[in-house]
Amino acid sequence: MVKIKKKKGFIEQLKEQGKFGKIVLYTVASVGVAIFAILSILSSPLFSPPIISIPPFTFVDFLVFAILSGTGIFGGYEYARMRKIKKINERFPDFVRDLAESRRAGLTFVKAIMLASKGNYGELTPEIKKICNAISWGSSVEDALNQFAKRVNTKLVRRTVSLINEASKGGGNVADVLEAAAIDAREIATLQLERRNSMFPYLAIIYIGAFAFIAIILVITNSILPSMSSISETGASAAMGFGGGGGISIPDLVTVFFSAAFIQALGSGIIAGVFETGSPVSGIKHSFILALTTWLVFKIAVLIGMLPSSGIL
């Protein structure tokens, strides 16, 4: 009896490739960014009076919300993905080692993978089952492993899968090759863990530096600038441009300082990601945390009267 292969739907294919959740989250993030960007435009000084007014939020707040929507959702997704990949990398050497033992016991490569799919490898188990499903649907072992490597997309998995495929095609003692690949994968995973641990102090320095920058700005705008403004009002330093001298006002300076702190928070987060994993993408979650903290501190300080407002923040 010939088994008829049922064609998978588009959504099922996306789920199997691990792209469905990513597309949904990106869509939600795009919608959120678009909504807040439109609110920012409609409540901006471009219109007099503004088409939309939602006190105490200003057009700058809505612009911040648009940025936070994008960085928050994308950063959260990347954090969850990297956490999953970390757990997969930790268990992947065990999976390769078990394949080697199954091959030594006389099982074929396909049966060895099928047997491994019944084990418990944590976050790696669903991926092994996807490999088995792909094989059962007619894919070769090489294609199924390559699809797995694309889904996980880490140097450790790509390198090991390439080694396994070459060993299976070349013949010889595949079990020894798998054992060597397992040892190699374990050493790489250990080195990656040591790198993350060694970079933690640098992450702490970035966060401390960002918070110190905000604290310094608060001290300057709440203590030093008012004192300088009062001096300028007496005429002792009118050339400095504060107060009624026609120069930039303290509320305007608060807006400038907020803009500088917010941009610095976004940049510091990206740098933190480079330190943490070597990838700027993983720093988006840090950018979200630092940017959100910056906005909250300035917004609360303005609302409680600690900082003057120019109506923009």
Output b/e per residue, 193-205; b: 16+ Cβ within 10 A: eeeeeebeeebee
Mention every residue, 6+ apart, whose C-beta is less than 8 A from residue 29.
Answer: 69, 70, 73, 74
Going by C-beta distance under 8 Å and a sequence separation of 6 or more, which residues neighbour residue 61?
295, 299, 313
Mean pLDDT of the chain: 84
| More confident: 63 or 141 | 63
pLDDT at 172: 63
Look up residue 292 and give its two tokens.
Answer: 């959100």
| Residues constituting the chain | 313
| φ, ψ dihedrals at 57, nearest 5° | -90, 140
Residue 84 near residue 123, CB atoms below 8 Å? yes
Q: Is a pLDDT exceeding 60 seen at residue 60?
A: yes
Query: pLDDT tens digit string along 118-174?
Result: 888 888 998 899 899 888 888 888 888 898 888 888 888 888 888 888 877 766 677
pLDDT category at 232 given cuts 50, 70, 90 is low
pLDDT of residue 231: 63
Do 191 and 170 meet the contact criterion of CB atoms below 8 Å apart?
Answer: no
Identity of residue 105: A
pLDDT (0 to 100) of residue 14: 66
With beta carbons less than 8 A apart as the criterion, state whether 283 and 56 touch: no
Tell me which residue of 6, 4, 8, 27 sits closest to 16, measured CA to CA.
8
Tell me which H or E stretch contains 284.
Answer: helix 284-303
Give the start-to-end residue ranges of the domains of the chain: 198-230+248-303
User: What percentage of the chain has pLDDT greater than the value 90?
Assistant: 28
pLDDT of 311 over the 90 cut: no
Q: Is the pLDDT of residue 241 over 70?
A: no
Q: Assess whether pLDDT exceeds 90 at residue 312.
A: no
Q: How far is CA 308 from CA 53, 220, 225, 301, in A?
A: 20, 12, 11, 9
pLDDT score for 226: 75
Provide the 3-class DSSP secondary structure of residue 59: helix
The helix/strand/coil state of 161 is helix
pLDDT for residue 247: 58
Q: Which residues have C-beta within 8 Å of that of residue 47, sequence separation ≥ 6?
A: none
Q: Is it true that the peptide bond before 308 is cis, omega within 30 degrees of 0? A: no
Coil vs helix vs strand at 54:
strand
Give the whole-angstrom CA distance, residue 239 versus residue 251: 19
pLDDT at 262: 96
Structure tokens at 142: 């090489």
**Residue 35: HSE in the Cβ half-sphere, 13 Å Cα cutoff:** 10
pTM (whole model) above 0.75: yes
